[in-house]
Amino acid sequence: MDFIRTTSMEHTLSVLEAYGSAATLLAGGTDVFAQLPRGELTPGVLVHIMPVPGLSSVVLEGGAISIGALASHRRIAVDGALGGFGSLRQAAAQIGGWQTQAVGTIGGNVCNASPAADLLPPLLIHDARVALVSASRGERSLPVSDFVKGRHATAREADELVTSFLLEPPGTHTADIYLKVGRRSAMEVAILGLALRLTLDDRGRVAQARVATCAASPCPMRITAVEEILQGEELSADLIAEAGQSLRSSLSPIDDVRGSAAYRLAVAPRLLARAIEQTKVQIMLANSG
């Protein structure tokens, strides 16, 4: 195994081009250095990209927010520019402890594509796009929902570097939230994670709802069936119960050491109801203030 420290985008891309699938990109290393000793990774070369400048900023780019792939969880949790993306900040703030948040990156979290990746549900409800670049084919971007293809599987080609994530600012009368289920107050890989973005119209009806989950299917995903049930409706107890039922039947959780499938299914509708309740209150507070 070799170690190459890249200090520019061009350098990185040429190394990726040269080594192809033998290269493993190394950002914060919180996944890579956990996987190496377990033998889950056997790279020919580790390409350390943290020194590449300009990839960790959060900037406004033509009306959209661009988050650099090397932005740390801690950065995301506190960056004022992400005010409209509460769910993303909440998710970042609930990843591991300070030590993991200080070094773990959004690019690493998305590219690792764990079924329990906390940043993915918020990125999904905000229709985020991922930007990639390669030496031979240049830049491209695609929705995160298309990028994440399955458990630890993405649409990234071996010579591509993920550079940023692009999010459109949400409109008015909108609030979002990320709720994570774990047994302790922190340091939990999600037993279930749920992100909701809710927009209410003037009469308090659902103008738009976006729901995504993690740790309840092979990879994090949008739950459009639930969104459709909520769309255009008044948020009655019956509707929320119906949405909860639909959520249950949309999930395919497994039993694992963290929790049983039955538990995940029991929590999911309750969590959705809590998310609806809390976003509703946020919207009402924003309107009254």
Partner 1 sequence: MQQLTFEVNGRREVVAVDVGETLLDCLRERLHLTGAKDGCREGECGACTVLVDGQPVDACLYPALACEGVSVRTVEGIGTPSEPSDLQKAIVEHAGLQCGFCTPGIVVVLTALLEAVPNPGRANIQTALAGNLCRCTGYAQIEDAVLSLASGAKDGL
Partner 2 sequence: MTNIGSDLPRADGWDKVAGKSQYTVDYSESGMLHGCVLRSPVVCGRIVRVDVEAARSMPGVRAVVTATNVGNGRAGMLVRDQTLFADREIRHHGEAIAAVAADTLAQARAARDAIELEAESLPALTTMAQALASDAPLVHPDWESYALNPMAAELRRQGNVAGELIADPDGVDEAFERAHLVVEDEFCVDRQYQAYLEPMSAVARFTDGRCIVRTGSQFPYNIREELAAYLDVRLSDVRVIGQTVGGGFGAKLGCGTEGYAAVLSRAVGGRSVRVVKTRDEDIVTAPVRENAELRIRTALDAEGNMTAREFSCDMDCGAYGLETPTFPSILFHFAAGIYRIGPVRVHARAVYTNTPPTGAFRGVNGPAVYFAVERHMDNIARRLNEDPMAFRARHMLRDGDTLLNGQALADAHIAREACEAVQKSLPAVGARQSGDRLRGVGSATGFWVTNPLPGSVTITVGEDGRLHVLTGANDNGSGAVAMGLTQIVAEAMGVSTGEVIVGLPDTDLSGYDSGSQGSRTTHIVGKAALIAIDDLKTRIFDVARQMLPPGANELELVGGMVRAVGIGDAQVPLAAVFQMANFSNVSLSGSGTYATTPPAFTPGCAVGLTMPSLLTPTYHAHRAEVEVDSVTGNVRLLRYVVAQEVGRAINPDGIMGQIQGGIAQGIGFTLTENLRLVDGRYLERSLEAYRLPLAQDLPRVEVVLLEHPDSEGPFGAKGVAEPPLVFAPAAIANAVSDAVGKPFYKLPITPEDVLFALDT
Ligand X SMILES: Cc1cc2nc3c(=O)[nH]c(=O)nc-3n(C[C@H](O)[C@H](O)[C@H](O)COP(=O)(O)OP(=O)(O)OC[C@H]3O[C@@H](n4cnc5c(N)ncnc54)[C@H](O)[C@@H]3O)c2cc1C
Among 15, 16, 25, 30, binds partner 1 (CB under 8 A): 30
- Name the minimum Å distance from CB 4 to ligand X: 13
Please list every residue from 45 through 84 that binds ligand X, using CB under 6 A.
69
- In whole angstroms, the minimum distance from the beta carbon of 48 to partner 1 comes to 6
Nearer of residues 142 and 187 to partner 2, judged by Cβ = 187
Mask for 80-109, x = binds ligand X (CB under 6 A) = ---------------xx---x--xxx-xxx
Contacts of 284-288 with CB under 8 Å at 24 or more apart are: 286/173, 286/175, 287/173
Which of partner 1, partner 2, ligand X, none sits in contact with 124, Cβ below 5 to 8 A by type? none
x/- letters, 150..189, toward ligand X (CB under 6 A):
------x----xx--------------------------x
Decide if residue 40 touches partner 1 (CB under 8 A): no
DSSP 3-69: EEE--SHHHHHHHHHHHGGGEEEESS-TTHHHHTTTTS---SEEEE-TTSTTSS-EEEETTEEEEET
Q: Is 11 in the site for partner 1 (CB under 8 A)?
A: no
Minimum CB–partner distance for residue 199 and ligand X (Å)? 26
Residues in the chain: 289
Cβ distance to partner 2 smaller for residue 48 or 180: 180
d(CA 120, CA 86): 13
Cβ atoms of 169 and 64 within 8 Å: the answer is yes
Instruction: Mark 122-133 as b/e (b = at least 16 C-beta within 10 Å).
Output: bbbbbbbbbbbb
* Contact set for ligand X, span 249-288 (CB under 6 A): none
- Do residues 211 and 196 make contact, with C-beta atoms less than 8 angstroms apart? yes
Applying the rule CB under 8 A, the residues between 154 and 213 that interact with partner 1 are: 185-187
Neighbours of 211 (CB within 10 A): 28
Binding footprint of partner 2 on the chain (CB under 8 A): 181, 183-189, 257-260, 262-263, 266-267, 270-271, 273-274
267 contact, one of ligand X, partner 2, partner 1, none, CB 5-8 Å limit per kind: partner 2
Note whether 112 binds ligand X by CB under 6 A. yes
Among 13, 15, 27, 230, binds ligand X (CB under 6 A): 27
**DSSP assignment string, 251-268:** -----BTTB-HHHHHHHH
How does DSSP classify residue 143? Answer: E
Paired residues of 175 in beta bridges: 198
C-alpha 259/C-alpha 273 separation (Å) is: 21
| Count of CA atoms in the C-beta half-sphere (13 A) of 23 | 25
193 interacts with, out of partner 1, partner 2, ligand X, none, CB within 5 to 8 A per kind: none
The single residue among 48, 73, 180, 197 that binds partner 1, judged by CB under 8 A, is: 48
Size of the site for ligand X (CB under 6 A): 29
Give min distance, CB of 194 to partner 2, in A: 11
Of residues 242, 127, 110, 225, the one with CA closest to residue 174: 127
